[in-house]
Amino acid sequence: MPEKFAVVDLFAGPGGLGEGFSGFENSFGSNPFSIAFSVEKDPAAHSTLRLRSFFRQFGRNPPAEYYDFINGKIKEPDWDALYPQHWDIACTEALLLELGTESVRRQLDSKIEVIRERYGGNTVVIGGPPCQAYSLVGRARNRGVNGYVAREDGRHFLYKEYIRILERLRPAAFVMENVKGILSSKIDGEAVFTQVLADLRGVGTGEDSYTLLPITKGSNGSHLQNSDYAPSDFIVRSEEFGVPQARHRVIVVGLRNDLAANSQIKNHRLLIKNGVERTTVLNVLKAMPKQRSGVSKGHDDYASWHAAVSQAVEKIQRLPTNAAVSLLKDIQSRASSILEKTCSESFTTARFVPGASLVDGSCSSQLQKWILDQRIQTLANNDTRRHMPMDLARYLYAAIYSEITGVSPKSTDFPSELAPAHKNWLSGKFSDRFRVQVWHQPATTVTSHISKDGHYFIHPDPEQCRSLTVREAARLQTFPDNYYFKGNRTEQYVQVGNAVPPFLARQIAEAVHSLLVVDS
């Protein structure tokens, strides 16, 4: 019988890493990884995590009520009343806790002892400590805080709790993820990531210590012939693994040395197999239902939206012919055709359109299988957000520019009449303040900033004249369509932006499994 591994998911967010591990199937068609427990402190993300845990309890036969709920046919049922045993397991598995306190340590330590007794060394720890203190944006924000002292920011050292759990559990393997900014982060002149690696290498002794592995793609390993890698070797570029997003993150994989001695490690790297095709925004968004944006001021009905778009087109048409943009006439012509199309009977008039879960036919078969669920009749978390009328003009202009040129316009490509009242607009610091996610490229990194406004995440279809929905962002993150995000829309955006792409996590799980079970 194939070996089973218990997974402990720390700082889990909405569960991207856990979804990848729990969704991996081995050659026997079974899942060797089972989530023992996951820990998340944010209530909305925890609610998402718990609901997904409930969903997984049913294997290939989730209850009809779940699909009625996410298809919008019914309000969310009382799961505890309908399926008390499954719901109880989900509540036991998904824990709403803040790591780092003594009371939480005691609670988790008791769970760890149970896992050790049941699984022995067949365990895996996954997760990424909070990244705000390491990210470039977070560090810039911290510098503006009066009296901020990096060494006193507990977020810098939450990874220590991750390491403490490694010490107690001694898992077969671990996966630690964080933002690329950790590579350049320093405290009192000391490189944070260098200390993180030293602490990871310091877990255990002898066979109970760990070999640290960067991730690479291919079948022949890399140029490295030993474990003397640079910090940058731990950067994983998601677009190289079939994710429709240029998301670059630091991921460290650790393999316990008693297993490392028997595993097929190529040049001290964790190898992910070739074969997943390059994926773009078009592959996962093009076939989704077309929906109009909302209007943030006044009434939000089709008539009000159409009036706002008409004003946006008029602004574009009034731009002087000596504008700096050489293709202005083409943009104006396209804007006029869009306005004419909005008056046709076939044009969508809704901010939320029921529709089946579809992807473009050119999308890789592996990703299609991962995202799609034939039981989905209406995409959940897919209503559009409202935008200010002036932003609609900018979105329309930018999307048309992108449609014609194949690239998103920079601030210097905007006529001054459409520029925002921002003193640094032309300084170069905000050159891509309004950024279109172009069809034929992977998206730029989906971040939690999408919860604040949609300026960095403009939909590539100018006829829709809007930013991305939560579901569209989730598709760029490769969450399955049956993955439901709880909380209000702002909280949903934050969850999606902070997550690890599950499709990438599934590939990592497969590679880790190949080292844990050599004959798999």
Structural domains for the chain: 5-279+500-516 (3.40.50.150), 281-363+386-468 (no CATH)
pLDDT of residue 49 exceeding 70:
yes
Reported as a pLDDT band with limits 50, 70 and 90, residue 425 is confident
| Mean pLDDT across 467-490 | 97
Q: Residue 131 catalytic?
A: yes
Enumerate the β-bridge partners of residue 99. Answer: none
What sign has the CA pseudo-torsion 40, 43, 49, 55?
Answer: positive
Pull the structure tokens for residue 54: 């409930």
| Mean pLDDT across 367-388 | 93
Is there a contact between 479 and 16 (Cβ–Cβ < 8 Å)? Answer: yes
Distances (CA, A) of 403 to 10, 192, 269, 281: 41, 42, 40, 13
Considering 131, 343, 363, 465, which one is annotated as catalytic?
A: 131
How far apart (Å, rounded) are the C-alpha atoms in residues 426 and 34? 51
- Report which listed range, 70-74, 296-300, 325-329, 355-359, is most confident: 70-74
pLDDT for the residue numbered 111: 95
Distances (CA, A) of 473 to 363, 404, 425: 16, 23, 26
pTM: 0.91
**Residue 142 burial (CB count, 10 A):** 16
pLDDT of residue 411 exceeding 90:
no
Distances (CA, A) of 203 to 168, 173, 211, 245: 10, 12, 10, 34
**Residue 374 burial (CB count, 10 A):** 8
Reported as a pLDDT band with limits 50, 70 and 90, residue 11 is very high
Residues 276, 270, 16: CA angle, nearest 5 degrees: 60
| Mean pLDDT across 422-436 | 77
Is there a contact between 16 and 38 (Cβ–Cβ < 8 Å)? Answer: no
Q: Which amino acid is at 92?
A: T
